[in-house]
Amino acid sequence: MSTLIEIDAELVRHFVFELAEFGRVGESGVTRLVYSPEWVAATDQYAAWCEESGLDVHRDAVGNVWGRLKGSEGGKSIASGSHIDSQAPGGRYDGALGALAAMIALRALKAQFGQPKRTLEAVAFCEEESSRFPSANYWGSRGITGRISATDPDNTIAFSGETMADAMRAVDLDPARIPEAQRNDIDSFIELHIEQGPILEQEDLPVAIVDAITGIRHYNVRIKGTQNHAGGFPMDIRRDPMAGFAEIASGVVNTAHRMGRPAVTTVGRAVVSPNFPAIIPASVEFSIDARHPRADKRRELYAAHEGMMREVAARRGLEIEWDVQIDHEPAPSDPRIVSTLQRVAAEQGVRTLTMASGAGHDSQQMAAIAKVAMIFVRSKDGRSHTPDEFSSIEDIVEGIKVLAAGMHALAY
């Protein structure tokens, strides 16, 4: 028997736009860096809203804010949320929407159905974006899953030079107590997030159920050749690293293109030395971002990229080396939760598709301790990580209905 969930669209609008005032930049931008004054004010507001919603509130040792609706039967909890920090600047929706959606879903469930059998929790993760500390990403969910080492707070350095330990102490958090944030009592975690891509808009659908989060590998590649005069050196005896780079960049992108969706590869950064028009360069350093949500296809994609890089360098007489700077395994969603979300979406009259996430999310970390799944809400023009990102309140309400109905199915 279906249970229709009632979500107040005007309340959703109020929460979204009010939270966006903390760190507001221009008309629609937000800069809210972890442990900044804007972040502190936003977490205070989130905690106050959780209390107003009838939830028990606490903050953990890394600054994640939790709102809890205690269940009558005990056992591990069902949780939802996302991150409250932003890009610099980002928009109103990335991360913040998922934290708000979890709180709004619990508020609606409590008002409509009372106490659940299983404990429900909403969380605003303290950090995900790496926008203040370049190597900090997933700091909040890594704290929960025990993936912050004892040396990380002193070795995680901000763009402006301070350490994560310094920033934590400035907001009355003790880096030595980070292990206290770890949880082992969460059964399932569902994260609502804007899509950050164009697929839902292309399909004219408001919501997607996410069945996997992509694996991600970041390469930093260096090619070395021989610097020489652009006119005096014949083509057949050059050791031109720019020619090698051009071939590799085109090759890896086309490999992913030929493999088809959801494989993606991006060459987003290149540094040429000495970078002058009449000089064959001495070296080129560049990045490759390669992603696929299936473990077997991911390995196939990476092997093709690495084989191509070696072949091009050998054929052109170039030296090549690379470091893998990020290497996240794919995180498949729990099939039972996916099927539950598909079922309740249909019961709520919400049109959906099922897809993989091409971006990384906190759910990838939470998969280490809980069954996970995600819900996407349509992004206008696929925009994200920009003040121009936009999702309509109507689509957001549809997404929260699916989230709340899924949590109802799991907890009531």
How do residues 27-44 score in pLDDT, each as one tens digit? 999 999 999 999 999 999
Long-range pairs for 157-161: beta carbons < 8 A, 24 or more residues apart? 157/133, 158/132, 158/133, 159/132, 159/133, 159/134, 160/132
Distance CA 47, CA 274 (A): 52
Question: Is the CB of residue 100 less than 8 Å from the CB of residue 176?
Answer: no
pTM: 0.91
What are phi and psi for residue 155, nearest 5 degrees? -100, 0
Q: Which two tokens stand for residue 377?
A: 């809400």
**pLDDT at res. 237:** 96
CA proximity to 135, closest of 152, 147, 120, 151: 152
Q: Which two tokens stand for residue 10?
A: 């005007």
State the Cα–Cα distance between residues 85 and 141, nearest whole angstrom.
13
For residue 130, the model assigns a pLDDT of 93
Note the pLDDT of residue 74: 83
Residues facing 209 on adjacent strands: 354, 375
- What are the b/e assignments for 120-142, b being 16+ CB within 10 Å? bbbbbbbbbbbbbbeebbbbbbb
Contact 358, 264 (CB under 8 A): yes
Q: How far apart are CA 116 and CA 109, in angstroms?
A: 8
pLDDT of 166: 97
Question: Given its phi and psi angles, is residue 388 left (phi above 0), alpha (psi -120 to 50 degrees) or beta?
Answer: alpha
Nearest to 382 by CA among 201, 248, 244: 201
Q: Provide the residue type at 325 as one letter.
A: Q
Residues of the chain with pLDDT under 50: 1
Q: Which domains does the chain have, with CATH numbers?
A: 9-213+330-411 (3.40.630.10), 219-328 (3.30.70.360)
Q: What is the pLDDT of residues 63-72, one digit of tens each?
A: 999 999 999 9
